Structure 1
Amino acid sequence: MQIDRRSFMLALASSFVAGGMPAFARERLYVSACNDAAGVSNLAVFTADGGTLFKTQLPDRGHDIALSPASPDLVVFARRPGDWMAVIDRRNGAVKVVVRSPEGRHFYGHGTYSGDGTLLYATENNLETGQGVLGVYDTAANYRRIGEQPTHGIGPHDVAFMPGKELLLVANGGARTDPASGREILNKHRMEPSLALVDPRSGEARYKVDFGSDLTGLSVRHLAVASDGEAAFACQYEGDPEEAPPLVGLVSKDGRTRMLGMPDEDLYRLNNYLGAICLDGSERLIAATSPRGGMAAFWDRSTGRYLGLAPMPDVCGVAAAPEAGTFIVSSGNAGVKIARAETHDLARVGGSDLDRYMWDNHIEIVT
């Protein structure tokens, strides 16, 4: 673990106030997994103006990060299909514990805390049946696994609480995997993608949206939930590469879905693959990133209007920037930039040392 002087001073000054937010949250901080020039996997916390507060070495490549609403904890999940998650103190980068997936299960790279921070829910695979589960972890017991609930689908990836923090929306990608086979999809011609709204207490599905036989290859992967209960979702198409179905959709709080359109020539440039999706600070605009296509795409959520593309090689990570209508986007080989949705242009984060890292799939806001 490497901590610079500024990070050290922030850690000394930090204290958690009611609601769990740190007292030093005067500027926006971001967190993402990344690799350094030596190929070492890390977790890094950085600012919107390009300063790196600290980086912490990880067991291997990380994927997404969940942040506790009630403590300094954050959890970074292994890149799917993985067998570890690391609990880290977000004030200073100290590793508290590395939790391994139980026998017969593996992680899918995402998770979320309960509203009071007492439980962590992680998307997992039952290796024997291929069915998805939500592993339930007790944060007060050093993240001991205390149970699981069904996700009502195969290959759950992203998961997010709906407003009110009572029900979980799960993106069941439909793809069955096994760590022994790496990232190979074991049921490529029998995928069952769906969205499920799950009660984590009872395991009941309040609704399930199946994408049907015509879209069996349209793997639903990532979510961005708005405060009004509507969620944007991003997909990866595993069917005929010559086909190009829409990759971004919206699901209402009662389960009605609609896909968002874009011109065919721009859709083809996404290469049937989106790696992340995000709402801006106003929740009006959507950004979705395609590392395989080297493009970030933008829509107006309120109208469904397509706004355009911004080229950036291997772009994937995306988070809301401080100014409405803007996003922070990161790349595996082109650093970190600010993207403006309405004009779909990119600006380098000035004075930055962030170009030194190869950024992984997701960025989350720390404060």
Structure 2
Amino acid sequence: MWNLTRRATLRLAAAAAAMLPFGARPRAEGHLWFGTRLDAQGGAHATAFDAEGRPVIDLPLPARGHGIAVSPDRKIAVVMGRRPGRFALALNLADGSVAAQFAPSEGCDFCGHAVFSADGRLLYATETDWEGERGLVGVYDAAAGFARVAAWESGGLDPHDVRLLPGDGRIVVANGGILTHPDAPGAKLNLEDMDSSLAVLSLADGSIERHFRLEPGLFQLSIRHLVVGRDGTVGFVMQYEGPAERLVPLGGLLRPDGTLQLLEMPRDGLADLRQYCGSAAADAAGETFGMTSPRGGSAAFFRFSDGGYLGSRGLSDVCAIAADPALAGGFYIAGGHGGIERVSPSVRAEVLQGDLARTALWDNHMALA
């Protein structure tokens, strides 16, 4: 099980103070966009930039990062390790310093995503218990250095994304349904009987209140990432593990009343996604959302209200996406081959300039902070 040593912690603190290599600087007022990236030598970093694409935080990581959970007061960002994750770092957004570092419990790994409670006291992280072959949601106390205080069943295998639902003390978990094991890196061990689902858990005791699955003919769709609209509608995006020639929906909506709706889009646009969506984000108003395909180099946009398709934008190896509050229905997207763009379904893309925007190789996810 991976833990940060005192020496590693000192290296991280020194790197945060130096703010290399992009000349990062103390945070000013306004939003940040926080993601993880690789440098030209393959080193992993947690990096935040401002609205113009200028770096504010740039911190080396011990391994590739994945999802970022931002506290409600925008003071802390927790960077989760890439699945199977063995580290998480809580960073002070004011200056990029390390506030805490923590690891999963013995026998478990992080699955890449986490979300704060509405009051910021607790962090809920998706995990896998390898021995028990079960998914978990680990509960971590932010005031106690992110000590693990509880663990709940996620309702399936391979839990990945987790989001807070508005108003009534619940979270929704995307159980990807794929059996893997660290002794067989990269192997998917149950593609003939995988079981993906959406589970709604009570924050009072972790009990599963509702559980949703797609129709049996779509059992090889793995539900991976989630967004939540203004009215509590959950958007979910998927990756298909079935025959390469089959076109299947890659997104859907779960309404507050429990109705499931799969998203429709033009055949050519769907084919461009290449059976794989790697991230999603809702706009600042909670009215539209985007889902990205690094394999297809395409970001597709939809309305929460009726699932209507709004169009697509292209960027090589695009995956990271987060809302842009300054642009109605707008987003920042970033590519694994470099590039940051401001986009919306109705406005021509704006390509950001500067060394960070041109050269950083962005990983899977981005969060608005």
8 Å Cα contact 1:70/1:117 also seen in 2 = yes
Q: Find the counterpart in structure 2 of residue 250 from structure 1.
A: 253
In the TM superposition, 1:1-367 aligns within 5 A as 1=15, 2-3=18-19, 8-10=25-27, 24-25=28-29, 27-70=30-73, 72-164=75-167, 166-321=169-324, 322-342=326-346, 345-351=348-354, 353-366=356-369
Cα deviation code 1:296-355 (max 9, x no counterpart): 111233232212222211000111112112210011103111112135x43211446322
Corresponding letter in the other structure for 1:30: W
State how far apart, in whole Å, the 2-side matches of 1:260 and 1:200 are. 29
8 Å Cα contact 2:25/2:55 also seen in 1 = no
Q: Find the counterpart in structure 1 of residue 10 from structure 2.
A: none
8 Å Cα contact 1:130/1:155 also seen in 2 = no
Structure 2 counterpart SS, 1:266:
helix
Structure 2 counterpart SS, 1:179:
coil
Q: Find the counterpart in structure 1 of residue 11 from structure 2.
A: none
* RMSD of Structure 2 on Structure 1 (CA): 1.9
Going from structure 1 to structure 2, the CA distance change for 1:71 and 1:277 (only over 3 Å counts) comes to closer
State how far apart, in whole Å, the 2-side matches of 1:6 and 1:269 are. 37
Corresponding letter in the other structure for 2:99: K
Corresponding letter in the other structure for 1:197: V
State how far apart, in whole Å, the 1-side matches of 2:175 and 2:153 are. 11
Q: Unaligned stretches of 5+ in structure 1?
A: 11-23
Structure 2 counterpart SS, 1:153:
coil
8 Å Cα contact 1:82/1:179 also seen in 2 = no
1:220 Cα offset (Å): 0.5
State how far apart, in whole Å, the 1-side matches of 2:129 and 2:167 are. 29
State how far apart, in whole Å, the 2-side matches of 1:112 and 1:71 are. 13
8 Å Cα contact 1:48/1:349 also seen in 2 = no
State how far apart, in whole Å, the 2-side matches of 1:164 and 1:172 are. 23
8 Å Cα contact 1:7/1:92 also seen in 2 = no
Structure 1 counterpart SS, 2:63:
coil
1:89 Cα offset (Å): 1.4
1:281 Cα offset (Å): 2.1
Going from structure 1 to structure 2, the CA distance change for 1:218 and 1:174 (only over 3 Å counts) comes to same
Going from structure 1 to structure 2, the CA distance change for 1:165 and 1:99 (only over 3 Å counts) comes to farther
Cα deviation code 1:259-313 (max 9, x no counterpart): 1101222211111000111122232222110001111111233232212222211
Structure 2 counterpart SS, 1:181:
coil
State how far apart, in whole Å, the 2-side matches of 1:255 and 1:132 are. 22
8 Å Cα contact 1:81/1:177 also seen in 2 = no
Going from structure 1 to structure 2, the CA distance change for 1:8 and 1:333 (only over 3 Å counts) comes to closer
TM-score of the aligned structures, taking structure 1 as reference length: 0.91
Cα deviation code 1:101-145 (max 9, x no counterpart): 111111110011112222111000111232111011111221111
8 Å Cα contact 1:64/1:362 also seen in 2 = yes
Indicate the percent of aligned positions where both proteins have the same amino acid.
36
Structure 2 counterpart SS, 1:243:
coil
Aligned length: 351
Going from structure 1 to structure 2, the CA distance change for 1:57 and 1:28 (only over 3 Å counts) comes to same
8 Å Cα contact 2:230/2:287 also seen in 1 = no
State how far apart, in whole Å, the 2-side matches of 1:335 and 1:60 are. 22
Corresponding letter in the other structure for 1:74: A
